[in-house]
Amino acid sequence: VVTGLELHPLLRRGIEVRSRHVGIERPQALLRLVPENPEALLALGNRHVVSALQFDRELVVQLCRLAAGIEIQPALLHMPLTGKILITAFYEPSTRTRLSFESAWHRLGGDILSITDPATTGMAKGESLADVAEMFSNYSDVVVLRDRDAASVYSMLETLRVPIINAGNGIDEHPTQALADLYAIFKWRPDLATDTPGQPIRVGIIGNPAKMRTVRSLLHLLSMFAAVIEEVVVINGDDDVFGEGQRDALAQRGLRLRVEPGLRNNLPALDVVYINSIAWIGDTFERLTQAHRLTADSPFKPGAIVLHPLARGDELDVSLDDTAHNWYFSQARGATFVRMALLTSMVERVHRVADVRPPS
C-alpha cells in the first residue's frame, strides 16, 4: 500500500458524502409533523439526567423535535452555551459517547474540561465521590459521567450543585443513548411521535435487558410509547434475561414483551431491529449474543431498519452498510443533535433555540 513512490488512488479524488447514510434527510418530516412545545423542555432546566425513567412521552418527542431542527440547520444556532463549561469524566473507556457529548457542547459554543483517565485524578489519592462532586460544582456548569460502578453517579447527586448526565453507569442505564435510539426511530417514522400514528411497529432487541445498560434505558423509553408498539421481541437464548422485577415494571406501563431464542424465524416480522453484543461487567466487558449476527442476507422485513448503539463487532456485518436497512449510521450521527437538544434544555437555553423551524 505504502510505496513512497506515487500517490495512493484514494487521494486522487475528493471527499464524498456517501449516499448510504439513509435518514439524514428525514429530520425535516419530523419537524413538520410534530407541533413545537418548548414548555415541555423547561422541565429539564437545572435537573440531573440519570435515568430514562425521568423522561415522559412529550419530553422525548420535543427533545427529538429540537434535535431535528438542529440537524437541519445547525448554522442557525448562535452558540447558546458560550461561556459555559462542561466536565466530561470518563472513568471507563469510551470514544463514541465522549466525543459525541464534547462535539455537541462545542457546537453549542461551550468549553470543556476532560478527564479520560482516573489515574490522573485526585481519586487516585482516595478522594470521595461526594468531594469530587463538590469540586466539579465549582469548576463547571454541567458534568457528564461514565463509571463502571452503577452507584457512582448516585453518590455524586448528594453534593452536586450543577446538573449531571449519566453517560453509562455499569449495567444500569445510559439514558442519552436511548434518546438517540428514539430519535432515529422518529426520523424513520415521524408519525409515531404524533397524536395520529400509523401502523404500530414491532421492535426486536437482540441483547440482554438485565445486563446491558443501553437496552435497559431503551426499554424505559419504549414503555412510554407502548401505544404505538405492537410488541417488543427480545431475541435471546437464555431463559432469564430480565432483572428482578424489570419485566413486570415494563408490562405495567403497557409494553408487550416476548422473549424468543431464534433470530432468523423472528426477523421477518420485525420493523426495528436493535442489536448490541457488549455488556459491561465490572472492569471488563462480555460479548453476548454472539450466536446472532445480522448481514445483508438476513431475512429482513422490507423497510425494516437496523439500530446499533455502540462500537460494532462481528454481530453487525459491514455488508449491511450499503443497504436501506442501515439506520445505525443515522442513529450515531443523530446522537450529537439529540444531546445538543438535551444540553440546551438542561442549561436553560431553550429560549435561544426554540424558534428553530423548518424552512417555509
Looking at 56, 117, 286, 355, which residue binds a copy of itself (CB under 8 A)? 117
Q: Which range in 123-131, 267-275, 292-300, 348-356 contacts a copy of itself by CB under 8 A?
A: 123-131
Interface size with a copy of itself, residues (CB under 8 A): 97
- Smallest gap from Cβ 217 to a copy of itself, in A, equals 9
Q: Which of residues 247-306 bind a copy of itself (CB under 8 A)?
A: 249, 278, 285
Among 25, 35, 96, 303, interactor with a copy of itself by CB under 8 A: 96
- Taking the least distance from each CB to a copy of itself, the nearer of 189 and 308 is 308
The one among 37, 76, 99, 240 contacting a copy of itself by CB under 8 A: 99
**Closest distance of CB 290 from a copy of itself, Å:** 13
Nearest distance from C-beta of residue 106 to a copy of itself, angstroms? 4
| E strand segments, the chain | 85-90, 111-115, 142-147, 164-169, 201-206, 229-235, 257-260, 272-275, 278-281, 284-287, 305-307
Q: At what angle do helices 213-223 and 175-188 cross, to 10 degrees?
A: 50
Among 34, 40, 64, 107, binds a copy of itself (CB under 8 A): 107
CB under 8 A: which stretch of 62-70, 200-208, 268-276, 312-320 binds a copy of itself? 312-320
- Does 10 interact with a copy of itself (rule: CB under 8 A)? yes
Alpha-carbon distance values, 11 to 8, 14, 58, 140, 345 (Å)? 6, 7, 47, 42, 42
Neighbours of 5 (CB within 10 A): 5
**Of the candidates 194, 336, 338, 206, which has an alpha carbon nearest to the alpha carbon of residue 276?**
206
Q: Which stretch binds a copy of itself (CB under 8 A): 28-36, 225-233, 293-301, 331-339?
A: 331-339
Strand order in the sheet with 142-147: 111-115, 85-90, 142-147, 164-169
d(CA 146, CA 113): 14
Figure out which of the listed residues 103, 237, 301, 352 binds a copy of itself, where binding follows CB under 8 A: 103
- Of 332-351, binders to a copy of itself (CB under 8 A) are 332-333, 335-336
Per CB under 8 A, the list member of 25, 37, 56, 124 interacting with a copy of itself is: 124
| 105 neighbors 343 (Cβ within 8 angstroms) | yes
Stretch 39-58: interaction string toward a copy of itself, x if CB under 8 A: -------xxx-xx-xx----
Q: Mask 170-209, x = binds a copy of itself (CB under 8 A)?
A: x-xx------------------------------------
User: What sign results for the dihedral spanned by CA atoms 280, 282, 284, 288?
Assistant: negative
Question: CB under 8 Å, gap of 24 or more: what pairs does 285-290 form?
Answer: 286/211, 287/313, 288/207, 288/208, 288/211, 288/212, 289/206, 289/207, 289/208, 289/235, 289/236, 289/315, 290/314, 290/315
Taking CB under 8 A as the binding criterion, the range among 32-40, 58-66, 124-132, 232-240 that sits at the site for a copy of itself is 124-132
